Amino acid sequence: MKFRKADPLMRDLRRVLPSDRVRVAPLERSIMGRDASIFEGGRAGPVCFPISTEEVQGCVDAARRHGRAVVPRGAGTGLAGGAVPLEEPVVVVATKMNRLLSVDAEQRVAWVQPGMINLDLSRALAPFGLHFAPDPSSQQVCSLGGNVGTNAGGPHCLALGVTSAHVLAAEVVLMSGESVVLGDAGGWTPGLDLRGAYVGSEGMLGVTTAIAVRLTRNPPAVETLLLAFDSVDAAAQTVSAVIADGIVPAAIEMMDKNIIWAVENFVGAGFPTDAAAVVIVEVDGLPGGVAAEADRVAELAVERGGSVRRATDDEERALIWKGRKSAFGAIAQIKPNYYLHDTVVPRTRLAEVMNQVYEIVDEHDLQVMNVFHAGDGNLHPLLLYDGREPGIMDRVHAAGSAIIEASLAVGGVLSGEHGIGIEKRDFMPLMFSEADLDAQARLRRAFDPEEMANPGKVLPTGASCADVKALDNIPEGVWG
Amino acid sequence: MTAKKSLGIDTEELASCVSCGLCLPHCPTFRVTGEEWASPRGRISAMRQVQDHGLAVDESFLASMDSCVQCRGCEPACPSGVPFGSMMEATQAELARRRRVDWRQWGFWVLGHRWLLNLLSRSLAVVQRLRLVPSKRLGLPKIPLVQERLRATGNDVWLFTGCVMDAWQRSTHASVKRVVESAGAGVALPGPGAACCGALSLHAGLEDHAHALAARTMKALEGSAPILVDSAGCGAVLKEYGKHMGTPEAVAFSERVMDVHEWLAAQADQLPSVGERRRDVTVAVHDPCHLRHVQRAHQPVADVLSRYATVVTLDDEGLCCGAGGAYAAMQPELAASIRDRKLEAINRSGADIVASANPGCTIHLANAGVVVRHPLEIVDEVIDYDG
Amino acid sequence: MAVVGGRTQWEIGGQCPEETRLVRAPAGVRAFDPADMTIRVGAGTPVEELDAALAEAGQRANLPVLPGATVGGVLAVGRDDLHALGRGRLRDARLEVVYVGDDGRLVTAGGPTVKNVSGFDLCRLLAGSLGTLGLLGEVILRTWPRPAAQQWLAGPCDPVELRRSMYWPSSILWDGEITWVHLEGHESDVKSEAELARSLGCEPTDGPPSLPAYRVSTGALEVGQPTGSYLVQIGTGMAYVSEPRPIPDADPAVVALHQRLKSEFDPRGRLNPGRDPLAG
Ligand SMILES: Cc1cc2nc3c(=O)[nH]c(=O)nc-3n(C[C@H](O)[C@H](O)[C@H](O)COP(=O)(O)OP(=O)(O)OC[C@H]3O[C@@H](n4cnc5c(N)ncnc54)[C@H](O)[C@@H]3O)c2cc1C
Ligand SMILES: Cc1cc2nc3c(=O)[nH]c(=O)nc-3n(C[C@H](O)[C@H](O)[C@H](O)COP(=O)(O)OP(=O)(O)OC[C@H]3O[C@@H](n4cnc5c(N)ncnc54)[C@H](O)[C@@H]3O)c2cc1C
Ligand code: SF4
Ligand code: SF4
């Protein structure tokens, strides 16, 4: 599809935004064709960089008048292809709307623009002794609008909950062009929880233009333990035992042998390379409870044959977390590409499903590393591969499907934090009945009757599989 | 050797980016624009579109490439170890070939000829004083009219003096030399052959010119003594001669190159104590990109400096200041927005002065009214040489 | 058609017409794995029964335990417990809901695990829906450990200052003069925080005050002349008043969304007729 200056859509968009903030060059559009997922070569139409709610409304209006879909985009770190544009929609990028609008330290609420980077917010809050609890591993780059879009989680969401529990209200531009505030920054108003329905909607209900986030107080005391085990089973059983003992740590992360080895080579965090698995447990809160819980966690680990290292100071704690957070970097030394999966299983079934994952990966002759949020049963098997090896993607996908099926079979779910996007859209019928999916489509239609917001994602009825495969092509033609 | 395609980027290197985006916040041009084409991931994607998918090299491609400061802040941030600098150098080399005649060729040729540079600089100094050239707008420093003369004092170590820095900031070399000597080493100075390391030519894609300069420099700094460099940009290039030229001599040469602070930090016990002249100044250390991201040797600066002054670190994770060799002159608007972020970080730090081990950064920041000194100038003033 | 729970808030959001067919949701605990900290119950289960079942395993759900009220009723009404400040919101307590839709089909919303972002979050939408979008049949709730110690204190101190000084009180209530604070957790922590509260002017007390009858958002307190008594639930945006207050008008765009949701989920108006969630 070509776009000329005289194109009516372009004319309307340029009425709303200065021309340097509506980009149409083929290269600029093709760059917007992907996010951090494995889906390449989506097709973007005009790429808009609004800086205010009014400008977003203008972009949405223009798109609607010309029958164009709208794809909201944050930092483009999504792993499910949520921000990958299909069929040349207007792409609305929030990165220039990156300001902290207000902080009310007394009420523990901040209003932020959607393009603000997650970590920038917590940095800005440090002087108040507050932070934004969800801390995805991509927090240094992902946007808060994207976090709302995917209902992002992170290691420290075990006790405090994922993004939804930390969003009080969102200002949203609907596909009608109207701007509406969902939820209440003050805490509560009567009515349906529209805010709750909106969080995690992957850009399919509207464009977020401002967010009221709940701020969390920094804990007065923290204890971090590094537990090492001879078997994955013992590690998984310890995780279950901790939960069953009535302890809800701030974080429980698990890493298996392969990743421990890679991380040690990469950053030298002092992880025991002879262990089959390590578990990082962090408890925080008031000193009495923290000390008691840390002792109890250590006891439970030792009972299951584990060895315990307790961080003696902030430096050692930082080193342990550095090991956890360097996982992605460590992988690159082994294979150039990775496919990060994301399913959840009941916490009591962790060991069983992990063993299945190892078997599946063996069957498909692939390599896997596991580094994941064990505390809430959120598996993240990383399949390593070299994309240039012929036929490799078929094996990667086959293994991925088998892992999803194994997770669902024990009462698990499709995704714990990355979302459905394009990636798992066609797996939705495995988890949901026709009636379930129909109900989700109704929610969609109530917000967006014409289905113009980010079409082709999440709900399997939209674009067919053929469209996704067609994503390999890059857009052709000269736009000007 | 893997096959090379239209941009001449190594295909292995080009395939190594997994598009995760973790580099984005570490890229100064992405930070100030928020636009993907001005980010490392976007630039790599653009390179792929051209090299792998045959998209035309058009204005938007050039804008994406030329807006890159080549600070390589994206490299340490990248978990996949993508060698961005090398890919960008290859791209720039190809673009230079396509542009054929580039005025920069002439400009950088001057840098290799010390007498000419000195002559031109001196005339510029005169003209500046007559206010014929708007220095502020061009981002030029005030150039000294009369230069101090440096004399060799031994041959334990070489002090690389370079081109622009030697012509414009020779007093810095003098300070560096005194500090190095105070640690007990005799300093040798290279002849006119080692006039320029070739960094600017390399970044502009003028490979042949860069290689010629490199050959001359290596010849002028022979022997086995460590080669100390007080300009981060030059040091980065000298350390990469081995990689660029691929010859055993070049590899051996690069192994001798050290940032002067690295060398000093290793001789910490030889360094003189703090004299009475120690002032209670708070110094913010600005990490030049070529020290932090390329040489990954920024820590010694703070280590050495903190023996002599109160040192504060900036809270922006070493984000580039926007100077980038000739960048500030070529992309003034972006360079200024990038600098504004740095100025905010400097303000937050509450420091009195800023220490920078790279002349480009010094000039760029000083143009915004910040007091910037070379770290060893600060040390030089505080050391009690008699005591 | 409407579901009756314990009839403790039967008239909230409006009256059901006479001819409405009333049904009861299934009751009883279906599955409870203490080690997983989730429980599956019929929506008609009295919250007291749920609480007793969980207490045996040293756990609890983040639902108000009101005599007579049912799990489905509590979720349909969607009002938070007094301890929302420290324990979190009611809307975050449920993981999965199975409901009967307007066409009589069973619909599952959410998922059984503690973390789930598969598809749209219909589960939260049903919070506060007063049964107007679907009739809740079965729910899976997340459970929490019961704390080892707890303590109420009250006194004439500044609730804002109290909140600022305490780390994680589970509830702070304020009636304009007296502040109540509830602490829970590890024994030594409750003790030290109680000391802190005492230093600010609070003394131990048996429990919270009795609640004025009507719940409003704190925003409503600022509208019109204050009459009667009130109790503010600090940090949650909720307050209780003894005299009914006019509910501030909702944004027309929000009202329109409610209407469109209703017509998508229940075009023929069969589910819980006469109720308006916005009037709750
Ligand atoms: C290395 C790595 C580690 C990661 N770790 C985690 C992790 O620990 N936990 C986790 O949850 N995720 C993780 N992710 C995934 C990703 O970072 C999150 O999904 C994040 O929330 C996406 O934010 P973004 O700004 O990049 O959004 P994008 O990728 O740009 O968009 C994501 C979705 O949100 C929508 N969206 C974005 N902005 C808006 C807006 N303003 N209005 C409406 N819709 C919008 C998009 O349409 C899209 O559907 C990781 C990703 C990477 C690459
Ligand atoms: C004195 C008093 C104190 C209270 N204090 C608190 C408190 O501290 N914290 C708090 O959170 N709440 C409090 N409440 C409100 C409380 O949430 C409700 O009373 C309770 O949730 C209603 O449950 P029920 O089973 O009695 O429902 P009912 O009163 O029978 O029904 C209430 C509404 O919910 C609908 N409904 C019931 N079950 C279902 C179902 N399965 N599916 C769909 N719709 C259904 C009904 O149709 C009706 O519209 C209080 C109420 C009272 C009377
Ligand atoms: S070299 Fe610097 S400016 Fe260029 S892409 Fe990397 S971080 Fe950005
Ligand atoms: S961090 Fe590395 S792999 Fe990730 S997008 Fe940037 S260059 Fe590519």
Q: What is the enclosing helix (H) or strand (E) of A316?
A: helix A314-325
Beta bridge partners of A110: A103, A213
Q: With beta carbons less than 8 A apart as the criterion, state whether B29 and B69 touch.
A: yes
Contact A96 B34 (CB under 8 A): yes
Residue A350 lies in a domain: yes
Q: How far apart are CA A171 and CA A207, in angstroms?
A: 8
Q: What angle do CA A237, A238, A243 make, to 5 degrees?
A: 100
Q: For residue A313, what are the domain limits?
A: 221-329
Cβ neighbours of C244 (radius 10 Å): 11
Q: How far A190 CA lies from chain C's nearest CA (Å)?
A: 5
Q: What is the enclosing helix (H) or strand (E) of C122?
A: helix C122-125
Q: How far apart are CA B125 and CA B148, in angstroms?
A: 15
Q: Is the CB of B152 under 6 A from ligand 4?
A: no
- Do both A126 and A210 map to the same domain? yes
- Do both A279 and A318 map to the same domain? yes
- Do both A109 and A210 map to the same domain? yes
Q: What is the enclosing helix (H) or strand (E) of A357?
A: helix A350-363
Q: What percent of chain B has pLDDT over 90?
A: 39
Q: What is the pLDDT of residues B136-189, one digit of tens each?
A: 555 555 656 566 678 888 889 999 887 766 666 778 888 999 999 988 899 998
Tell whether A209 is within 8 A of chain C (Cβ). Answer: no
Contacting residues of A for B41, CB less than 8 Å apart = 76
Contact A36 B19 (CB under 8 A): yes
HSE-CB of C59 using CA atoms within 13 angstroms: 23
Atom of ligand 3 nearest to the CA of B85: 1
B window 14-53, beta carbon within 8 A of A: 15-16, 18-22, 24-25, 33-37, 41-42, 45-46, 49, 53
pLDDT averaged over 10-residue windows placed end to end, chain A, 480 residues: 73 94 93 91 93 98 96 97 95 97 95 97 95 94 98 93 96 97 90 96 98 96 97 94 92 94 86 95 96 97 96 93 84 84 93 95 94 94 90 93 96 96 95 95 96 95 42 30
Q: Whose CA is nearest to atom 7 of ligand 3?
A: B27
Atom of ligand 2 nearest to the CA of C99: 42
Q: How far apart are CA A268 and CA A257, in angstroms?
A: 15
Q: Calculate how far, in angstroms, residue C73's C-alpha sits from the geometric centre of ligand 2.
A: 4
- Do both A135 and A106 map to the same domain? yes
pLDDT-flagged residues of chain C (< 70): 223-226
Nearest to A145 by CA among A192, A103, A89, A99: A99
CATH architecture of the domain covering C149-241: 2-Layer Sandwich (3.30)
Tell whether A201 is within 8 A of chain C (Cβ). Answer: yes
Q: What is the pLDDT of residues B253-288, one digit of tens each?
A: 999 999 999 999 998 888 887 754 565 778 999 999
Nearest CB to B49: which of A27, A49, A115? A27
Q: With beta carbons less than 8 A apart as the criterion, state whether A425 and A457 touch.
A: yes
Q: What is the DSSP letter of C69?
A: -
Q: Is the CB of B78 under 6 A from ligand 4?
A: yes
Among A298, A329, A360, where does a domain finish? A329
Q: Whose CA is nearest to atom 1 of ligand 4?
A: B78
Q: Is the CB of B22 under 6 A from ligand 4?
A: yes
Q: How far C120 CA lies from chain A's nearest CA (Å)?
A: 6
Nearest CB to A289: which of C37, C88, C189? C189
Contact C279 A240 (CB under 8 A): no
- Do both A204 and A276 map to the same domain? no
Nearest to B21 by CA among B6, B43, B2: B43
> Residue B128 has what pLDDT?
56
Non-local (6+) Cβ contacts of A405 within 8 A are A430
pLDDT, greater one: B126 or C176: C176
Q: Which residue of A has its CA nearest to B75?
A: A329
Nearest CB to B37: which of A31, A75, A474? A31
Q: Which residue of A has its CA nearest to C265?
A: A442
Kindly list the protein residues whose Cβ atom lies closer than 6 A to any atom of ligand 1.
A 35-36, 71-79, 82-83, 94, 114, 136-138, 142-143, 145-147, 149-150, 152-154, 202-203, 207-208, 328, 417-418, 454; B 20-22
Q: How far apart are CA B105 and CA B340, in angstroms?
A: 30
* The two three-digit tokens of residue B250, written as one number: 């070049």
Contact A98 B42 (CB under 8 A): no
Atom of ligand 4 nearest to the CA of B77: 1
pLDDT, greater one: B309 or B206: B309
Non-local (6+) Cβ contacts of A6 within 8 A are none
Kindly list the protein residues whose Cβ atom lies closer than 6 A to any atom of ligand 2.
C 2-10, 12, 25, 43, 64, 66, 68-70, 72-74, 76-77, 79-82, 130-131, 135-136, 211, 272, 275
- Do both A246 and A295 map to the same domain? yes
Contacting residues of B for A371, CB less than 8 Å apart = none
Residue with tokens 């002092």: A270
Contacting residues of A for C125, CB less than 8 Å apart = 192-194, 196-197, 443
* The two three-digit tokens of residue B90, written as one number: 């290859």
Nearest CB to A180: which of C112, C188, C254? C254
Q: Calculate how far, in angstroms, residue A162's C-alpha sits from the geometric centre of ligand 1.
A: 13
Q: Calculate how far, in angstroms, residue C237's C-alpha sits from the geometric centre of ligand 2.
A: 19
Cβ neighbours of B371 (radius 10 Å): 11
Residue A135 lies in a domain: yes
Contacting residues of A for B55, CB less than 8 Å apart = 26-27, 30, 474
Of the ligands numbered here, which is closest to the C-alpha atom of B81?
4
Q: Calculate how far, in angstroms, residue C10's C-alpha sits from the geometric centre of ligand 2.
A: 7
Q: Whose CA is nearest to atom 4 of ligand 4?
A: B20
C window 55-74, beta carbon within 8 A of A: 58-59
Q: What is the enclosing helix (H) or strand (E) of B159?
A: strand B157-160
Q: What is the enclosing helix (H) or strand (E) of A310?
A: strand A307-310
CATH number at residue A413: 3.30.70.2740
Residue with tokens 């009739």: C135
Cβ-in-10-Å burial (0-12, 13-18, 19+) of C222 comes to exposed
Tell whether A285 is within 8 A of chain C (Cβ). Answer: yes
Q: What is the DSSP string of B66-121?
A: HT-----THHHH-TT---HHHHHHHHHHHHHHHH---HHHHHHHHHT-HHHHHHHH
Chain centroid to CA A379: 13
Total count of domains within chain A: 4
Mutate to test the interface with A, among B45, B59, B64 (most CBs of A within 10 A): B45
Q: C2-146 in CATH: which number? A: 3.30.465.10
- Do both A307 and A398 map to the same domain? no
Q: With beta carbons less than 8 A apart as the criterion, state whether C63 and C141 touch.
A: yes
Asked whether at least 3 C-beta pairs link C and A within 8 Å, the reply is: yes
Contact A191 C278 (CB under 8 A): yes
Average pLDDT over residues B200-225: 83
Residue A431 lies in a domain: no
Q: What is the DSSP letter of C80?
A: P
Angstrom distances, CA of residue B61 to CA of B45, B46, B87: 10, 7, 14
Nearest to C86 by CA among C62, C59, C66, C60: C62
C window 177-206, beta carbon within 8 A of A: 185-189, 191-193
Q: Which residue of B has its CA nearest to A29?
A: B37
Q: What is the largest CA-CA distance in chain B?
A: 67
E strand intervals along B238-387? 257-259, 282-286, 310-313, 353-356, 372-373
Among A284, A302, A329, where does a domain finish? A329
- Do both A89 and A105 map to the same domain? no
Structural domains in chain B, CATH included, are: 11-99 (1.10.1060.10), 111-265 (no CATH), 273-382 (3.40.50)
Contact A474 B18 (CB under 8 A): no
Domain boundaries, given as residue ranges, for chain C: 2-146, 149-241
Q: What is the DSSP letter of A456?
A: T
CATH number at residue A168: 3.30.465.10
Q: With beta carbons less than 8 A apart as the criterion, state whether C128 and A193 touch.
A: yes
End-to-end CA distance of chain C: 19
Contact B81 A138 (CB under 8 A): no
User: Phi, psi (5° rounding) for residue C105?
Assistant: -80, 150
Kindly list the protein residues whose Cβ atom lies closer than 6 A to any atom of ligand 3.
B 26-29, 40, 43, 68-74, 84, 320
Q: How far apart are CA C204 and CA C194, in angstroms?
A: 8
Among A329, A356, A379, where does a domain finish? A329
Q: How far C20 CA lies from chain A's nearest CA (Å)?
A: 22
Amino acid identity for residue A419 in this structure:
G
- What ipTM goes with this model? 0.94
CATH number at residue A324: 3.30.70.3450
Q: How far apart are CA C240 and CA C221, in angstroms?
A: 9
Q: Is the CB of B41 under 6 A from ligand 4?
A: yes
Q: How far apart are CA C132 and CA B146, in angstroms?
A: 87
> Residue A469 has what pLDDT?
35
Asked whether at least 3 C-beta pairs link B and C within 8 Å, the reply is: no
